[in-house]
Structure 1
């Protein structure tokens, strides 16, 4: 079934690309694109089968995201972050899963995981308040996943949790006016003293050790992979897709380009141009190959019933942040060599340049933190809990 979804997604790419300007103008992915992706089953790739999902290989999901981002960076970004949320919902207690999908298995969720909210322990759950930024695709969703610190009666932090909140209990504040990823509608979410039942929460401590209550119902190996491996991959994959799209447009442009300053020489005959695309393509291919290889290694451990080694999980993060950097370096090199026409509004290349740099500032793409953790572990030092 995953192949049918991938084929369906590829059929949609011309239309998604045609709507890229519209996405920027609206500051949100056009409803037509979301509807088409829903109809071909994209948002069900990581959803449990018992809720009409496909429980697909995450590499299939990443492949679809990569292709979408190669047509429109904003649509690829929103598809990735919204499309991965069914994977996490599958880890929540059964009550929460039923609340999301029991009546409508096409329900979508957005998120904002930074713990900028405050939750206090109350009878049967928590009282949650706060303001969260960067909830990509929230206008297309009816639930949201929010990060928050849990405080006890003494005012001490006792946990860091993800809280699942329905649309009627939060407000979307339209603040998204950006030069990159401008079509993602990554607006603010505001919650004021909302009660969240215990069953609608997940401790990040549990997800960090690859555990969730929902694994009792959703027994697929898919749901035993590390949260931070799956989720950080959703941030790097669209940027790899943008690089692939930029590469394709650059090659096409250079085959048609005549360089007046060089006596009418065809750009495609410039040996330095050939070297440049060789290097860029290698960086893009390396970013993708390492992402896929690392997920495959984690899957192999899960298939054997083994705990995934910390070193491998840290390597996933190492290659994920460097994969982002490789893709951006490739885009920069191609953009710089494309000539003035690449600056024209409506070209994919200039948009990819803006979108990729916007995606780079996401917390999951902070290279120093991920690389420091990997290096410290290699030296035999204890690695503090973090995004691994």
Structure 2
């Protein structure tokens, strides 16, 4: 019976992937409007909801499909080939459901009990002011970078809790309903323009205990709701799933840039000489080099996605070696994607900087993706290096 259920689950997930492919032309047609509005169009979110993508990491109990991470991140990458902003927001909204499945069942019911389509956004940096009070906490603060917050019914906001050791601080996520936060429109950006990553303000709101979990608990199977749902994906550390979506988006952007470059190369003629650029060795050498980098990125991603699935099927907690590999190899994928897009952009001539050129959007967006904290390769190198020499983890490294 378990094997039958697994096959059924995979069939549902693959059907979702097919549904996403079917709506890509419509999402592509709204890419410019998405940037101009500085927010993902409602039509895109509705289409991705109907396709099943937004419920990909949501428990079946609440209308989700509990898809394997590899299928979800492949879908996110495909969306990013036509609109990186939509992919960025949609994968985040989907990923947050994975975290909520680890929270107290009371919170799960509050969020999805009366509205299974409710979406959860975030601003996870622990910058909020937290005051313990009877029954929970008072939370205040102004948060940045809350991608897709206009579409969110709830947000996960970061703050520190006192740990069991003297002076220890634990990064926690506080679940806050729409009625308790204010959105401040600050999103005027050069990259990922359509993500609507605006500021969030909360002013001395009450957050009960059951709406709070530490990142440590979400990653080690000790959160209040761990074990509530049977799906294999609900044994994986939330942090690893959360961090993986960004590399998938960067990969999709790089794939799009490669296609745009090839299309541009086929018809490009040098203005001063009339020479066909496609016949110039440097032009197709740049194409080949970017192709190799993107192929390497694909190989790494697919290997890590398989590792996610194998780990989930084992239903055991991931060992530190595995968690560190996920945390540090995926930023390397983003680095490869940035390098490939940079090379293609530099080899494309002056026409590539025009607003009408899709390459300039790829160039801007891949650098925007790489700017996220979990994509910082310098940080990843420090985390990996310390682990490789057997040093204790540095709590100051995310």
Is residue 46 of structure 1 aligned with residue 57 of structure 2? yes
Q: Confirm or deny: 8 A CA contact 1:143 1:166 kept in the other structure.
A: yes
Q: Which moved more, 1:341-350 or 1:85-94?
A: 341-350
Aligned to 1:139: 150
Q: Confirm or deny: 8 A CA contact 1:119 1:151 kept in the other structure.
A: no
Q: Which moved more, 1:297-306 or 1:55-64?
A: 297-306
What SS class does the counterpart of residue 106 from structure 1 fall into? Answer: coil
Aligned to 1:358: 368
- Whole-angstrom distance in 1 between the partners of 2:348 and 2:56: 36
- Whole-angstrom distance in 2 between the partners of 1:55 and 1:176: 32
Q: Measured at CA, do residues 372 and 86 of structure 1 come closer, stay the same or move farther in structure 2, by a change above 3 Å?
A: same
Aligned to 1:227: 238
Among candidates 276, 289, 295, match of residue 286 of structure 2? 276
Among candidates 358, 363, 387, match of residue 377 of structure 1? 387
Among candidates 91, 110, 114, match of residue 102 of structure 2? 91
How far the C-alpha of 1:172 sits from its partner, in A, is: 0.3
Is residue 192 of structure 1 aligned with residue 203 of structure 2? yes
Q: Confirm or deny: 8 A CA contact 2:235 2:315 kept in the other structure.
A: no
Q: Confirm or deny: 8 A CA contact 1:118 1:151 kept in the other structure.
A: no
Aligned to 1:288: 298
Q: Confirm or deny: 8 A CA contact 2:102 2:226 kept in the other structure.
A: yes
Q: Confirm or deny: 8 A CA contact 2:235 2:316 kept in the other structure.
A: no
State the Cα RMSD in Å: 1.8
- Whole-angstrom distance in 2 between the partners of 1:25 and 1:32: 15
How far the C-alpha of 1:158 sits from its partner, in A, is: 4.9
- Whole-angstrom distance in 2 between the partners of 1:17 and 1:220: 33
- Whole-angstrom distance in 2 between the partners of 1:298 and 1:22: 35
Q: Confirm or deny: 8 A CA contact 1:298 1:312 kept in the other structure.
A: no
Is residue 167 of structure 1 aligned with residue 178 of structure 2? yes
How far the C-alpha of 1:343 sits from its partner, in A, is: 1.5
- Whole-angstrom distance in 1 between the partners of 2:342 and 2:319: 35
Aligned to 2:257: 246
Among candidates 367, 374, 384, match of residue 377 of structure 2? 367
Instruction: Report 1:13-28 matches (<5 A).
Output: 13-28=24-39
- Whole-angstrom distance in 2 between the partners of 1:13 and 1:276: 28
How far the C-alpha of 1:385 sits from its partner, in A, is: 4.1
Aligned to 1:119: 130
How far the C-alpha of 1:176 sits from its partner, in A, is: 0.4
Q: Which moved more, 1:174-183 or 1:369-378?
A: 369-378
- Alignment gaps of 5+ in structure 2: 1-11
Aligned to 1:265: 275
Q: Confirm or deny: 8 A CA contact 1:311 1:374 kept in the other structure.
A: no
Output the TM-score relative to the length of structure 2: 0.92
Aligned to 1:72: 83
What SS class does the counterpart of residue 258 from structure 1 fall into? Answer: coil
Q: Confirm or deny: 8 A CA contact 2:144 2:200 kept in the other structure.
A: yes
Q: Measured at CA, do residues 295 and 6 of structure 1 come closer, stay the same or move farther in structure 2, by a change above 3 Å?
A: closer
- Whole-angstrom distance in 1 between the partners of 2:397 and 2:115: 32
What SS class does the counterpart of residue 71 from structure 1 fall into? Answer: coil
Q: Which moved more, 1:213-222 or 1:90-99?
A: 213-222
How far the C-alpha of 1:50 sits from its partner, in A, is: 0.6
Aligned to 1:4: 15
Q: Which moved more, 1:263-272 or 1:141-150?
A: 263-272
Q: 1:140-178 CA distances to partner (integer Å, 9 max, x unpaired)?
A: 1111111111369xx976532101000000000000011
Q: Which moved more, 1:269-278 or 1:25-34?
A: 269-278
Among candidates 215, 225, 236, match of residue 214 of structure 1? 225
- Whole-angstrom distance in 2 between the partners of 1:111 and 1:29: 16
Q: Measured at CA, do residues 189 and 366 of structure 1 come closer, stay the same or move farther in structure 2, by a change above 3 Å?
A: same
Among candidates 344, 356, 375, match of residue 334 of structure 1? 344
Output the TM-score relative to the length of structure 1: 0.94
Q: Confirm or deny: 8 A CA contact 2:345 2:359 kept in the other structure.
A: yes
What SS class does the counterpart of residue 117 from structure 1 fall into? Answer: strand
Q: Which moved more, 1:376-385 or 1:222-231?
A: 376-385
- Alignment gaps of 5+ in structure 1: none
* Total equivalences in the alignment: 385
